[in-house]
Amino acid sequence: FPVGTSWEVVPGVGVREVSISGGYVVWALCTNGDVACRYGVSGTNFLGDYWKKVPGNFELISVTPDDELWAIDQNGQLFCRRTQHFYGTQSPFKPRSNSGLFPGEEEWELI
C-alpha cells in the first residue's frame, strides 16, 4: 500500500474543508463557501489536473464512499447533490466548454 513521504501543494482554489469519496473524487469547500471538484485524480495521478466549481454556496460538505455529496447551507438546510455518471467516450475528466455538465442550481436537492 502507498505511504506518503512528503506534502505537495494542490494549486487553484483556497480550501477550508476537503472530502474524498471511495472513487478518487475529491470535493473542496472553498474559503468563500463555493464548492469545487478536483478532476483527473487517479491511482497514478494523486494531485489531479484541475478544479471545477459547481453551483452552490455552503458551510459544510461531506461525501459518501459512493460519491454522494451532501452539504449544509448558511441556514442549516441539508442538500444532496445529484450526480451524473459517464461511460464509454464521455468523460467528466476532460475540460469542456459550457457543455451542460453543471447546468445550474437544480443539481442540488433540498432535503
Query: Which pTM value belongs to this model?
Result: 0.74
Does 107 reside within a domain?
no
Q: In this model, does residue 35 exceed pLDDT 50? A: yes
Top pLDDT among 63 and 3 is at: 63
Banded model confidence at residue 102, pLDDT cuts 50, 70, 90: very low
**What domain range includes position 54?**
15-82
Does 93 reside within a domain?
no
Element (H, E) at 61: strand 60-63
Does 35 reside within a domain?
yes
Burial of 49 (0-12, 13-18, 19+ CB in 10 A): middle
Top pLDDT among 94 and 77 is at: 77
Does 4 reside within a domain?
no
Instruction: Give the closest residue to 47 by CA, choosing from 65, 83, 20, 86.
Output: 20
Number of domains observed in the structure of the chain: 1
Does 105 reside within a domain?
no
